[in-house]
Every structure is written in structure tokens, then in C-alpha cells.
A and B are shown apart, each in its own frame.
Chain A
């Protein structure tokens, strides 16, 4: 089983619908991240959380919200999906000892299509 698990892996939805992407991890890391990947662009950080009570906006947080339900769970919500949120979304974790200077461990990705 993967150490970082994302659900759903694929989702097609319509404009205006609320969508939640979930991420859970068994690595015991306290830092978790949500990124999106678009063709021809580098991964862009949406939100990050250094622990359960610490949540921060990333580069492209508009239109997204997150919830850190537990150390092992970090969910991303699109309150009202729009077509330009069609992308591949990755959850990632890292060890607090390394933070942004250390290795990120990614989930397998959630491919979202907004029609």
C-alpha cells in the first residue's frame, strides 16, 4: 500500500459543483501539502500545513480551501469548481526536520476534470 494515499484518483465534475480531494498518510510526517500540476507548468503549491493547527496559503490558494482533520489527513476542497481548475492534484508530505529543504513524498495524484 502507498504511504500517501489520495482519493479519488479520477473525478469528472461539472462547473459549480463542490469537490473534495482527500489525502491520508502513514509516514508519520507532520507536514502536508497540496500541489496542482498543469501541462507545461511546474507544480504549484495550493496550501500547506506544518501541523494540525497550522495551515498556510500557497501560491494559488484562491478558489480552494483545506482541512487538516488529523496529523495523517489533509483534504482539499473546491467550493465551486470551474473549468480552469482542471488539473492533476498531488498531496505530499515531508518530515518536520527537513521542511521545504527536504524530500517530499507524493501521493499518486488525483486527476480532476471540470466540465
Chain B
């Protein structure tokens, strides 16, 4: 079983729509969680950390469900510039980060 699993998508949504997707992780002892954004053929960049109580950054909302071992990302009022691959990243211990393969979102005009 992969340590971090994501629906690869693609999620094709019109501008202004809301899109949400999840990522599941296998190690219940994981302590830190992140969403990174990766544009096509570019390097990943941190989008946001995910806190236990859930957190929001502008149009982006991240949630953590420890009982079911998943995190989610919701994008409201989608923009064309939100088109990217979103990587779920989990810190299962002090010596590694586990990356999901990514969920691709395409926002169309």
C-alpha cells in the first residue's frame, strides 16, 4: 500500500466553480501535513500547511481528518491560474516526507 494516495484526476472545472479532493495516508503516527502545488514541468512549491483544526488561505481550505486518515483541499471560485497538479505531502516521522503522486486540476474558461 502506498504511504500517500491521491486521485490523479484530472478534475476539469469551469472558472468560478468549487473543486475539492482528498488524499489518504497510511501511517497513523504522521504529524505534519502539507499541500504543494506543481505547475507543468516546474518545481513543487508549498501551497499551505494543514493544521488539525483545519485552515484557510484565501480561496483555499485544507482539512485534516485523523480518524479516517485523510486530508482534503477545497478551492473556491476557481481561477484559470489554479490549473496545476496538487501534491499531498505527509511527514510520517522525523526522517522523511511522503509525497502523493498528485491530483491534476484544470480550470477552463
Contact = CB atoms under 8 A, between A and B. Distances in A.
Contacts of B46: 103-104
A21 B44 CA distance: 19
Contacts of A109: 41-43
A45 interface: yes
Contact of A41 (B32, B34, B94, B101): B101
Interface residues of B, number: 24
Interface string A45-61: 10000000000101100
Given A40-B8, A101-B91, A106 B101 contact: no
Interface in A6-23: none
A43 B99 contact: yes
A59 B99 contact: no
Contacts of A100: 32, 91, 93-97
Nearest to A6: B43
Contacts of B93: 100
Contacts of A88: 41
Interface string B11-55: 000000000000000000001101000000111111000000000
Interface of A: 40-45, 56, 58-59, 88, 90, 99-101, 103-104, 106-109
Given A58-B96, A100-B94, 9 more contacts: A40-B101, A42-B100, A43-B44, A88-B41, A90-B43, A100-B91, A104-B97, A108-B43, A109-B41
Q: Which 3 pairs across A and B sit closest by C-beta, in order of nearness? A: A42-B99, A106-B43, A43-B99
7 contacts: A41-B101, A42-B101, A42-B102, A100-B32, A100-B93, A104-B46, A109-B41
